[in-house]
Amino acid sequence: MIGVDTAGVAEQLGAAADTATAIGQLAAEVGLDADGAYAVQTALVQRRLARGERLVGLKMGLTSRAKMAQVGVDEVIWGRLTDVMRVPDGGTVDLAGLIHPRVEPEVAFLLDRLPEPGEPVGAFTEAVRAVAPAIELIDSRYANFTFSLPDVIADNASAAAFVVGPWSPVPDGLANLGVLLEVDGRVAQVGSTAAILGDPRRALDEGLRLAGWHGVRLRQGWVFLAGAATAAVPLRPGAHVRAVVEKLGTASLRASS
């Protein structure tokens, strides 16, 4: 990774997000591998923190086959969530600041007592206080939503916004719950939480392991998005979107017109 201008690449991605202007892929050109890309992501998120945003969680990406197939990248990735990305349940997302937003149904965990770095998760119900249906709004900063693995890692795993529905205590079975994504009352995607690494609880093990490699510790009180159970769908002006997860209920958002 000698010679990669980490700060410069982060600045290009940050400016693309700030101005809602797509850019071309960067990784191949500047010789970025996955580790270098996480360094860019750190710098990119640092840029947000420097202007007053707060870290509030972690998101997993490409934890389901449907997502891997949709974007043509087949490795699990992670990114960071800040307070500014959180939209209240039922709230409106302003499309003006976005390039080509897509929405996807997710399961969110409210993190509680986590193991020490390098230790496995003990009882899931100790590590996770509550679970909720969620919607993630992704907005790749790359033209045509086309990227390589290091490109998408550097771009903070396409994170843009997220909505968390009502929290519930962890239900007995979480491994095979029906998932629906509705747009304007019509079913746009159907799936199951089983699509998320066979069981969304595994996403937490992966998140702890992968973020741990990069020295990132997950915190009590953080939101953890386990990754979409289905492919994402474009978010059109004025659309009303609902994610429904069996036993957990609904999260919703509206797009500005």
Q: Using CB under 6 A, which of 104, 111, 248, 251 touches ligand OOG? A: 104
27 binds, among ligand OOG, Mg ion, none (CB under 5 to 8 A by kind): none
Question: Is residue 40 part of the contact set for ligand OOG (CB under 6 A)?
Answer: no
CA dihedral 44, 63, 218, 128 (to 10 degrees): 150
| Closer to ligand OOG by Cβ: residue 55 or 117 | 55
**Angle value at C-alpha 63, between 19 and 208, nearest 5 degrees:** 90
Q: DSSP string spanning 193-215?
A: GGGTTTSHHHHHHHHHHHHHHTT
| Closer to ligand OOG by Cβ: residue 89 or 136 | 136
CB of 67 to ligand OOG, least distance (A): 4
> Could you tell me if 37 and 154 are in contact, meaning their C-beta atoms sit under 8 angstroms apart?
yes
CB of 252 to Mg ion, least distance (A): 17
153 binds, among ligand OOG, Mg ion, none (CB under 5 to 8 A by kind): none
With CA atoms as reference, report the closest residue to 59 among 154, 157, 137, 126: 157
Sequence-ordered list of residues with C-beta below 8 angstroms from that of 232, at least 6 positions apart, any chain = 67, 70, 102, 103, 104, 138
Question: Is residue 140 part of the contact set for ligand OOG (CB under 6 A)?
Answer: yes
At which residue do the structure tokens 């595994």 appear? 202
Question: Is residue 139 part of the contact set for Mg ion (CB under 5 A)?
Answer: no
CB of 55 to Mg ion, least distance (A): 17
Question: Is residue 41 part of the contact set for ligand OOG (CB under 6 A)?
Answer: no
Q: Using CB under 5 A, which of 136, 151, 155, 182 touches Mg ion? A: 136
Compute the distance between CA of residue 185 and CA of residue 41 in angstroms, rounded to an integer. 36
Compute the distance between CA of residue 16 and CA of residue 23 in angstroms, rounded to an integer. 7
Question: Is residue 228 part of the contact set for Mg ion (CB under 5 A)?
Answer: yes
| Closer to ligand OOG by Cβ: residue 231 or 255 | 231
Contact residues toward Mg ion (CB under 5 A) are 136, 228
Contact residues toward ligand OOG (CB under 6 A) are 59, 61-63, 67, 71, 104, 136, 138, 140, 152, 157-158, 227-228
